[in-house]
Amino acid sequence: MRPDPPTFVDGLAPKADGGKFGYIDPEGHFIIPPTFMQAEPFREGFAIVRTSARSRWTYITTTGAPAFKAKFAQAEPFSDGLARVLVEVES
């Protein structure tokens, strides 16, 4: 069985390498290095990522720059300029 082809959005697709995820261009070159434990496809210019099992989710831009501080317990893709997130307040 062949793996599913990568899903390119905004010219980038998540791809695993050595147990970490980064983002490749259509030619297969890493544009954003594989530094994430989990990485979702881009949507409206942002992708949801986290660096470890215990880290919070955040969003990155197509340059790989963080768009926000990693503080979300849960995060969903952007749709019409909005995204649903869950922020847990620490006591």
Residue 63 pLDDT > 70: yes
Mean pLDDT confidence for 57-67 = 96
Six token digits for residue 32: 């954003």
- pLDDT-based confidence at residue 51 (cuts at 50, 70, 90): very high
The label of the residue with tokens 């899903």 reads: 7
Q: Are residues 50 and 38 in contact, defined by beta-carbon separation less than 8 angstroms?
A: yes
d(Cα 1, Cα 3) in Å, to the nearest integer? 7
**Average pLDDT over the chain, rounded to whole?**
92
pLDDT value at residue 5: 76
Q: Are residues 28 and 16 in contact, defined by beta-carbon separation less than 8 angstroms?
A: no
Q: Are residues 69 and 58 in contact, defined by beta-carbon separation less than 8 angstroms?
A: yes
* Residue at 15: amino acid letter: K
pTM over 0.85: yes
Strand partners, 57: 72
Q: What percent of the chain has pLDDT over 90?
A: 79
Residue 2 pLDDT > 70: no
pLDDT value at residue 46: 97
Q: Are residues 74 and 88 in contact, defined by beta-carbon separation less than 8 angstroms?
A: no
pLDDT value at residue 4: 72
